[in-house]
Amino acid sequence: MRFNLGEFEEIVLLVVAAQNEEAYGLSVTTSIEEELKRPVTMSSVHTALYRLEEKGLVKSEIGGTTKSRGGRRKRIFMITSAGKEALLDAKNARNHLWSMIPKVVFENR
Amino acid sequence: MSSQKNISPPAWADRFFNWYCKNELGESIQGDLHERYELYRNSHSRIRSNLLYWMDVIRFINRFTLRKKSTRRTFIPTIMLKNYTLVALRNIKRNVAFTTINVVGLAISMAVCLLIIATIDDQTSYDEFHSKGDQIYRVTHRRLNDVNLPIATTPLPLAEKLKNEYTGLEHIVQFRRGFSGEILDNGKAINISGLYTNPELFDLFDFELESGNVGTALKEPNSVVLRNDIATKFFKDKDPMGEDLIIEGLGSFKITGVLKEIPGKTHINFEAFASFSTVASLEKQGKLSESLSDWDKLSGGWVYFNFKEGRHLSDLQATLNRISDENYNEESEYDVVFSIQKMTNITPGPLMGNQIGQSMPNFFIYGLVILAVLIMTCAAFNYANLTTARALTRFKEVGVRKVMGSTKGQVVMQFVIEAVLVSLFSLVIAIGLLRLLIPAFEGLNMSSLLEWKLNPGTKVYVQFLIFSLLTGLFTGFFPSLYMSSVKPINALKGMDGPKMSKIGLRKSLIVTQLVISIVLIISATLVHRQIKYMINKDYGFNRSNIVNVDLQGQDFDLIKPELEKLSFVERVSGANNIPSIGRHDDIELRKNVTDEEVKYNYFSVDENYIDNLSLNLIAGTNFTPKQTEEREVIINEEAVDALGYESPEKAIGGNVILGDSTNVNIVGVVKNYNFMILYMDIKPLLLRYNPEEFEWAQVKVSGANRIDELKQMESTWAGFDPNHDFEYNYFDEQIEEFYSMFYDIVYIVGLISILSIVIAGMGLLGIATYSIQTRLKEVGIRKILGADGKNLILILGKSFFIMIIISTLIGGLISFFGNKAWLELFAYRVSFGFDIVGIAFLFIIVIGGLTIGTQTWKAMRTNPADILRNE
């Protein structure tokens, strides 16, 4: 695999892509909590985002502010083309593995 | 929602976050945190939300948030070192006066600290030469039903018991006291004092033999091993091996070994070791008191040991507890518990009774350390004050440095380096001063008592160096922070440095120093007064022109007529102890056989005693001379009360029982006099007629020609007892000598108070210079407008005067309560007079007046035109 993407990082990256230029720390956190019903701490999401940025899979930009944040600006994360490639890569790899599972496996559940 | 908008997350959590996260991520993270807090508030209580918020904040501590903000390349600070040193040296050279004040101030206080370091080093150097040193322990005990002071001795049977009941010890060495007596050497009696001990001594401790065999030297009864200097004292160049030492009262001992010179100090005080196997026979003959198998003889001896490999304190403690349970309980005379003490914790160590040699209590060491810290803090304050005062002239330098790209850290570094340099200069002077101080300190009584040998070695000098480097870092820290906060634009525009509220801080530093000085001055004066008071106090008896002659075992009845033959001798009386120097004996007393016994202090005297000491007999008569049996007793007024008589007259003829069965009649009552040390109250006292116990002849002389009188008495003594030197003391001198220990304290406290005054004076000088320099223009304008000298002094000196008054008030209060604490230990004490506070106040006013006055005068003398021209 070209991109060393952890499971949690992949989820975060997917959410960033899904929110398309609207993603920031808290939105990603709540989205994971609501969509996947999986409890996460905000700091781990942030950490994952920064790590993804270090790997060049996302880029960040200082965005606008809302009243509720006490005038503090958001850091908006966007997926880079490398990030997109990494996601596709991961998806293809899974699809490939899925296709290798014989049908019987799921029939006898 | 809108009502909750105003409720913000806990401010402390935010502050904490801002403290640890200083980089560009901070803002967006905190925004997210706040938004999330609002979500919490929608579904949780306030407290719970706050808690969750805190947890979020704490979870955010990670490598991304902790990362430093700047990506500026790291600058190697050492590059500038040479420049800093150069500039520092130039500055030092340019301001000779200032540097001198700084260096001298630091050096004086540093010298005292060095002395303290050397002392601590010296006092912690005991028993370092033993190779097993840190594995050696001893057993100590504590009496639960008596004074709760730990005591270093243990009963003698303990060693044997431990050997039998606990297998985990490698070597057990026990010491027993009582190996002391006189040895006749060429017709002169010389004292020797040592300890009985067993051969394992050489296995446990690193005492080595110069001659003799370690295996056998202490094996046979009546063998003795001498310390090498003692051997030389007795035998000069002769080989002492195999010679016999005849010790009066103990018998003959064969010398089986001579120790090599001991390579250091040891807490065990001995001149010789005698074989422990001697003890049994000496006790049987009655030459030593029976203690070999007596569990109640708690001062029997000392037990030292080390463990076999793999054995530990805790299981030995269990054995010791079992042994103490077997031998003692709440009903027995003593209820004893044993504990184990490491040898390295003996001196300095906890205060203990019955030490085997001298030992410095560790609170003394702590006291010294506190003192050193206090002194150094004062000195560092001063340095800070003086440097910031001088900094006025250096703002431009800092400004230029900053414009050229110096960071705050680098400016701090520069000034710290300067301070370190000054502190190193001071160290050199301080070491010089120390060389002068050491002989003065070694002359103190106290130091000879503690075997205070201050000859600092390399190790100590390394400590000095480290100490002075630390001092430099510490003293340079505050001024450097101040200097580095200079804004270059202001500095280069020629404006003042950072407008400091720090003048307030510095004022409080000065006040602190003044308070310390005042407390020390007052305490030193009080201590001095108390001691003088004790020495000159009317003891209630006469002590002038009395020579106390040590009988040294001679018969009082035989020497008395010889002394009385001398023309100048008025009267001779005998006594067992000298009053007022802390020694007296006790005896149990009851009125009826069925009464409970009460302990009374007593002195054994004769019929001349009352006349000799001019005691005031207020009722009854003196002793009948030449009694053969003890039938009479004289008591003091306290004893009259204690025995329940209504008046001294009523007590006469009363009958009391002394000890087991000595019936005596009260024949007289003397007025109370101070027979105890002066800090204790007068207690009930008995004067017994008991010549058997006499150890002193108190000779009342005319005192017309002291030297001649002494000579004649000496020759009388020599004709009487050629074996002993004539040992005498003048009574008044003896008492004075007894209290001279206290003079040491006055000496030390006095020295320190002078020191603190010097330091505080310098501090005043610094702040006076600073504040007057900043007000020069004001002075100029005032002068032009017609202010005269008086006005100016008033204006400039006012704030200092207020500072001095405040410090006197605080210092007076602190010293009042502080000194009350120790003064109350004394039954006879001087009162805390406000004249003392007055003296201290005057002292400070004079010093302050001198320092401030000179500065004010200088300011007044400057021509206003010179100051104002620059505008």
State whether A24 and B28 contact (CB < 8 Å): yes
The answer to the question of residue A69 being in a domain is yes
> Looking at beta carbons, which residues of chain A come within 8 Å of B60?
42-43, 46
> Looking at beta carbons, which residues of chain B come within 8 Å of A43?
56, 59-60, 62
Give B68→chain A minimum CA distance, Å. Answer: 15
Rounded Cα distance, B503 and B526, in Å? 34
Name which of A42, A66, A69 is nearest B56 (Cβ-Cβ): A42
State whether A30 and B64 contact (CB < 8 Å): no
Name which of A44, A70, A72 is nearest B28 (Cβ-Cβ): A72
> Looking at beta carbons, which residues of chain B come within 8 Å of A66?
35
The answer to the question of residue A107 being in a domain is no
| pLDDT at residue A96, as a whole number | 92
Q: By C-alpha distance, which of B262, B281, B172, B268 is closest to B208?
A: B262
* Residue of chain B nearest A77, judged by CA positions: B28
SS3 content of chain A, % helix, strand, coil (to 5): 60, 15, 25
> Looking at beta carbons, which residues of chain A come within 8 Å of B35?
26, 66, 68-69
> Looking at beta carbons, which residues of chain B come within 8 Å of A77?
none
Number of Cβ within 10 Å of residue B99's Cβ equals: 18
| pLDDT at residue B445, as a whole number | 64
* Residue of chain B nearest A75, judged by CA positions: B28
Interface test with A, best of B28, B43, B64 (most A CBs within 10 A): B28
| pLDDT at residue A12, as a whole number | 93
State whether B25 and A70 contact (CB < 8 Å): no
Please give the share of chain B, as a percent, with pLDDT higher than 70.
93
* Residue of chain B nearest A23, judged by CA positions: B32
The answer to the question of residue A56 being in a domain is yes
* Residue of chain B nearest A62, judged by CA positions: B28
* Residue of chain B nearest A25, judged by CA positions: B32
Q: Are B727 and B552 in contact (CB under 8 A)?
A: yes
Give A31→chain B minimum CA distance, Å. Answer: 13
DSSP codes of every residue in B253-313: EEEEEEEPPPSSB-S---SEEEETHHHHHHHHTTSS-S-TT-TT-TTSEEEEEEEPTT--H
Strand pairing category for B662-670 and B632-636: parallel
Could you tell me how many CB contacts below 8 A there are between chain A and chain B? 61
Which residues 44-103 on chain B approach chain A with CB closer than 8 angstroms?
A: 56, 59-60, 62, 64
Q: B514 exposed, middle or buried (CB, 10 Å; 0-12, 13-18, 19+)?
A: buried
| pLDDT at residue B427, as a whole number | 93
Give B48→chain A minimum CA distance, Å. Answer: 16
State whether A47 and B64 contact (CB < 8 Å): yes
Give A100→chain B minimum CA distance, Å. Answer: 41
State whether A26 and B64 contact (CB < 8 Å): no
> Looking at beta carbons, which residues of chain A come within 8 Å of B36?
26, 29, 42
Q: Are B135 and B307 in contact (CB under 8 A)?
A: yes
Q: Which helix (H) or strand (E) holds B180?
A: strand B169-185
Cα torsion B158, B160, B166, B167 to 10°: value is: 150
> Looking at beta carbons, which residues of chain A come within 8 Å of B33?
42
CATH number at residue A81: 1.10.10.10
Give B5→chain A minimum CA distance, Å. Answer: 8
Rounded Cα distance, B803 and B815, in Å? 18
Cis peptide before B221 (omega within 30 of 0): no
The tens place of each residue's pLDDT in chain A, 109 residues long, gives 456 788 899 999 999 999 988 899 889 999 999 999 988 888 899 999 998 988 889 998 888 766 667 778 888 999 999 999 999 989 998 999 999 988 888 876 5
State whether B31 and A47 contact (CB < 8 Å): no
State whether A68 and B5 contact (CB < 8 Å): yes
> Looking at beta carbons, which residues of chain A come within 8 Å of B25?
50, 75
> Looking at beta carbons, which residues of chain B come within 8 Å of A67?
5
| pLDDT at residue A97, as a whole number | 92
SS3 A43: helix
The answer to the question of residue A1 being in a domain is no
State whether B36 and A66 contact (CB < 8 Å): no
Which residues 4-43 on chain B approach chain A with CB closer than 8 angstroms?
A: 5, 8, 25, 27-36, 38-39
State whether B34 and A41 contact (CB < 8 Å): no
Radius of gyration (Cα) for chain A, nearest Å?
A: 16
| pLDDT at residue B1, as a whole number | 39
- What are the CA-CA distances from residue B792 to residues B244, B779, B853 (Å)? 87, 7, 11
Rama region for B833: left / alpha / beta (φ>0; ψ in -120 to 50; rest):
beta
What is the interface pTM, i.e. ipTM, of the complex?
Answer: 0.87
Q: Which residues of chain B fall short of a pLDDT of 70?
A: 1-6, 68-78, 146-148, 186-187, 392, 445-453, 494-506, 582, 677-680, 740-742, 745, 870-871
The residues pairing with B353 across neighbouring beta strands, listed in sequence order, are: B151
> Looking at beta carbons, which residues of chain B come within 8 Å of A73?
27-28, 31
Interface test with B, best of A31, A42, A76 (most B CBs within 10 A): A42
Number of separate domains in chain A? 1
The residues pairing with B126 across neighbouring beta strands, listed in sequence order, are: B265
The answer to the question of residue A26 being in a domain is yes
Which residues 37-76 on chain A approach chain B with CB closer than 8 angstroms?
A: 41-44, 46-47, 50, 62, 65-70, 72-75
Q: Is B128 an interface residue toward A (CB < 8 Å)?
A: no
State whether B34 and A62 contact (CB < 8 Å): no
Q: Which domain holds residue A45?
A: 7-101
Helix pair angle (B26-43, A42-55), 10° resolution: 150
| pLDDT at residue B2, as a whole number | 41
The answer to the question of residue A106 being in a domain is no
| pLDDT at residue A28, as a whole number | 92
Which residues 79-108 on chain A approach chain B with CB closer than 8 angstroms?
A: none
Q: B28 exposed, middle or buried (CB, 10 Å; 0-12, 13-18, 19+)?
A: buried
The answer to the question of residue A49 being in a domain is yes
| pLDDT at residue B304, as a whole number | 93
Helix pair angle (B81-94, B96-123), 10° resolution: 110
> Looking at beta carbons, which residues of chain B come within 8 Å of A61?
none
| pLDDT at residue A13, as a whole number | 92
Chain-centroid distance, C-alpha B478: 32
State whether B32 and A42 contact (CB < 8 Å): yes
State whether A46 and B60 contact (CB < 8 Å): yes
> Looking at beta carbons, which residues of chain B come within 8 Å of A46?
29, 32, 60, 64
**Helical residues (DSSP H) of B599-697, grouped into ranges:** 609-612, 637-642, 648-651
Here the tokens at position B466 are: 């480290």
Instruction: Tell whether the torsion through CA atoms of A65, A68, A72 and A77 is positive or negative.
Output: negative
> Looking at beta carbons, which residues of chain A come within 8 Å of B27?
72-73
State whether B32 and A46 contact (CB < 8 Å): yes
The answer to the question of residue A108 being in a domain is no
> Looking at beta carbons, which residues of chain A come within 8 Å of B29?
25, 46
Amino acid identity, position B306: N
